[in-house]
Each structure stands twice: as structure tokens, then as C-alpha cells.
Amino acid sequence: MTQHQPQPQQFYLTAPTECPYLDNRAERKVFTHLVGNRAPELNDLLTQAGFRRSQNIAYRPACENCNACVSVRILAGEFKMTRSMRRIWKRNQDLIGFANKAEPSSEQYALFHDYLNSRHHNGGMSEMSVLDYAMMVEDSHVNTQIIEYRMRGADTMITGKGEGPLIAAALTDVMGDGVSMVYSFFNPELADRSIGTYIILDHIMRCNALGLPHVYLGYWVNGSAKMHYKTRYKPQEHLTANGWQLTDIAD
């Protein structure tokens, strides 16, 4: 019987484009497709190697003469909240997150659209249509959830769900060694709640409940003020030329 050897994974390199994080820099990415039965296993391996997932694509920076983008993961089991984090956690205890299948809804898109208009109106995602959003959520061959955050209700202890309008949502991959936060968004009118921080804290708790060691936060960009918040969640490891190493950058 003829045996067919598996095809090697193909990787591609993008053309240079303007860097969205640092002025007067150009970015390039190396990427590959995450499709088929091997996609979950491959996503695990590539995430551990510093890749991020967007739909059915795994990518990582491959910029010439720049290594400012550094992969970050939180050591969930050793994490301790700061005093300000404890206040944020307590402030949002009237919220509950429920993990759904990665299926889009019009309510999600409306919140996503409001969030982008408020926080990232000049960003590359600001012109995303309903179809674009649906593809962002649905086009996954790995274990992806969308966690919806709503106010706690009378039946929350029974159903595990919240009630009322959607306040925040997080697209999240569950992997063999942790969870990867793909994208999150929230009601921009509730800035006093620090919901972005709360969502990360909630993912750390979920990771611990699953018995998994890591929460992958994506890239910390050295020199980018808008990415500096990721250094607050400690202990954390950064991916270096010598592998994942514990780091302590001042927040």
C-alpha cells in the first residue's frame, strides 16, 4: 500500500508595512495557516514559539533590525494581585463571564464597533464590517471560546450566565498549557471600572480553574506606551533567544 508522507508546514513572509506601535519603523511578519486536524496541536507549538493567532493564520514579527516585540505569558498559579487590582476585582464582582462557542452575534458586533470607535478609531480594525467580525470569531480550527460578560442575575448560580446587556467580550483560545487572549473589547462608557484589567484577571482565574499554567498576553512592545500595561501582571515570562525566561520590568 502506498504511504503518503505529510506535507511540511509552509511559512510565508509579508512585505514591509508601517509599524503600528513604533514611529519610523517598518514591520514584517512570518505566517502560516492553521487548518485541518493538526491545527490545535500546531497552534500550541507555535504559541509557545511566540506566534499569535488571527482567524486561521498564525503569525509572529520578523522585522529587520528590530526585536521590540516580545511574547509575554503570565504564570497564573503564582500570580498575586496588587492592591489596585484587588480594588478592580472587587468593583466588578457584579459581573459574570460565560464561555460560549465561538459564534458571533449582532450584540457583540455593536459593542465591538463602539469600542473601536472610542479607543482605536484610527486603527487597522476600525473599518471592519459585520462579515469581517464574524470571520474573526468563527474562522478558527482550534479550541476557541468567546466569553461574554454581563451583570450577575437572580439565576446566575444555577445557569452560570449573567443577565442584561453585553458589557464586555473576550475571544480566547484554550490550549494544552494555558489560555491565549486573542482579542477583547468592552463598553467604553464604563472606563471607571477598568474592565480591561478585570478581563485579564478573570482569565488568570479561569486558567487556574483549568489547572493550566499560562495566560498568553501577546506582545509587549518595548518603547510603546500603549503596550506597557502588560508588564503589571507578575510573575511573567518573556520569550528570549534562550527560551522563556522570568522577567521583572518595572510597571
Distance set, CA 92 to CA 145, 197, 246 (Å): 21, 10, 30
In the chain, the percentage of residues whose pLDDT exceeds 70 is 94
pLDDT band at 127 (very low <50, low <70, confident <90, very high): confident
Q: What is the mean pLDDT of residues 14-31?
A: 93
Would strands 214-221 and 144-152 be described as parallel, antiparallel, or unpaired?
Answer: unpaired
pTM here is 0.92
- 152 pairs with which residues across the strands? 162
Q: Are 217 and 233 in contact (CB under 8 A)?
A: yes
pLDDT at 45: 97
pLDDT in tens, 158-212: 999 999 999 999 999 999 999 999 999 999 999 899 999 999 999 999 999 999 9
Residue 41 φ then ψ, to 5°:
-65, -45
pLDDT in tens, 114-125: 999 887 656 567
Would strands 236-240 and 243-247 be described as parallel, antiparallel, or unpaired?
Answer: antiparallel
Q: Are 180 and 173 in contact (CB under 8 A)?
A: yes
pLDDT at 20: 87
pLDDT in tens, 39-94: 999 999 999 999 999 999 999 999 988 999 999 999 999 999 999 999 999 999 99
The reply to whether CATH 3.40.630 applies to domain 80-211 is yes
Q: Are 216 and 73 in contact (CB under 8 A)?
A: yes
Q: Domain coordinates of the chain in residue numbers?
A: 12-69, 80-211
